Amino acid sequence: MQRYHDCPQILREFLIYHETIKGQSPLTISEYYLDLRMFLRFIKLMRNDMPISTDLETIDIKDVDLNFIRSIDTSEIFDFLSYLANDRPINPDNPAPEHGISASSRARKLSAIKSFYKYLTVRTKQLTENPVADLEYPKLRKSLPKYLTMEQSAALLQAVSGPNEKRDYAILMLFLNCGIRRSELVGLNLTDVYEDRIRVVGKGNKERFVYFGTACRKAIDAYLVERQEKVLSDNKALFGSRDNNRISVTAVHRLVKKALMQAGLDSTLFSAHKLRHTAATMMLSGGVDVKTVQEVLGHENLNTTQIYTHIENTELKIAAEANPLSKLDFSEKNHS
């Protein structure tokens, strides 16, 4: 928690609670920290009548205490949400940045605020009033996730080349076969690989086993021969980097983008996360029920998984239209 040196004590305690008691990932803790720091800085900005263009980074919040939090009312929270929607710069470093962040980004920040107040009212009972309890989230535009077709997936795998070919091929096979998250892949250890499955540590440190097929097993075996010859700084890691460290999320992002470009696919449309979407889509298209796909992906809520059923339905419709018999029309055939 040393990295949160500019935190007031009340926020630091909230972060420690989510890190140690709730077992949230470092990424989630960091997002809570950044979102709540911005929120508290904005409240101070408004109360001190500073210009809306004031750089929030310059506002000190170390003196924020429980009384300050207790004094924040719903109207101030609405002001913050309005600031995010209309005045928050999207790219602050741009000489002429656009303003107003997306609904999904606003929803994430409101979620952090709701978690903070729930902690103060329900968990620790330091407050009796929760000003965000009934606040609705911004309406999000629902869109189907992008994914690779079978042909594009095959082209991606065939295009893998370079000094880390076996490693990269094994990583892509795990994404496309198991649908694991990028952070889950980075966290894999040598001992997490079994004969026909891998042990994955997902969100909230929840463990699950994900099975893979023969082709994925062969890809992993081919890489393991190479891996056994390397000594990493964290030698438990399944996948290593060029500098002999555990592979990073950023490195995985780069290798996926590189493979996409080598395959002639648009690297701006697809990513490691889109490979996860691809795996889910392929499973459903292959007849796997949605509840099983939920368990494979590690989704806590079935609703998160059900978006893929829309893709499956679309694929089935395309398949029906592709059937040559669908073009035949005997409706006016004379049977006499």
Alpha-carbon dihedral of residues 112, 28, 209, 241, nearest 10 degrees? 160
Helix 103-118 vs helix 74-86: crossing angle, to nearest 10? 160
Distance CA 238, CA 149 (A): 28
The answer to whether 273 is a known catalytic residue is yes
Residue 205 region by backbone torsions, left for phi larger than 0, else alpha for psi between -120 and 50, else beta: left
Distance CA 82, CA 110 (A): 12
Chain position carrying tokens 């409101």: 110
Q: Which residues lie across from 197 on neighbouring strands?
A: 211
- DSSP code, position 132: T
CA angle 297, 22, 192 (to 5 degrees): 45
Q: Out of 37, 166, 181, 277, which one is annotated catalytic?
A: 181
The answer to whether 169 is a known catalytic residue is no
Q: Out of 44, 118, 203, 253, which one is annotated catalytic?
A: 203
Q: Which residues lie across from 199 on neighbouring strands?
A: 209
Helix 150-159 vs helix 165-178: crossing angle, to nearest 10? 160
The answer to whether 308 is a known catalytic residue is yes
The answer to whether 181 is a known catalytic residue is yes
Q: Out of 166, 167, 276, 277, which one is annotated catalytic?
A: 276
E-strand ranges in 137-213 read: 197-201, 207-211
The answer to whether 217 is a known catalytic residue is no
Pairing relation of β-strands 207-211 and 197-201? antiparallel
The answer to whether 119 is a known catalytic residue is no
Q: Out of 12, 258, 273, 274, which one is annotated catalytic?
A: 273
Q: Out of 83, 147, 169, 308, which one is annotated catalytic?
A: 308
Q: Report which of 153, 177, 157 is spatially closest to residue 168, judged by C-alpha positions.
A: 157
Residue type, 130: N
Hey, which residues are catalytic here?
A: 181, 203, 273, 276, 299, 308
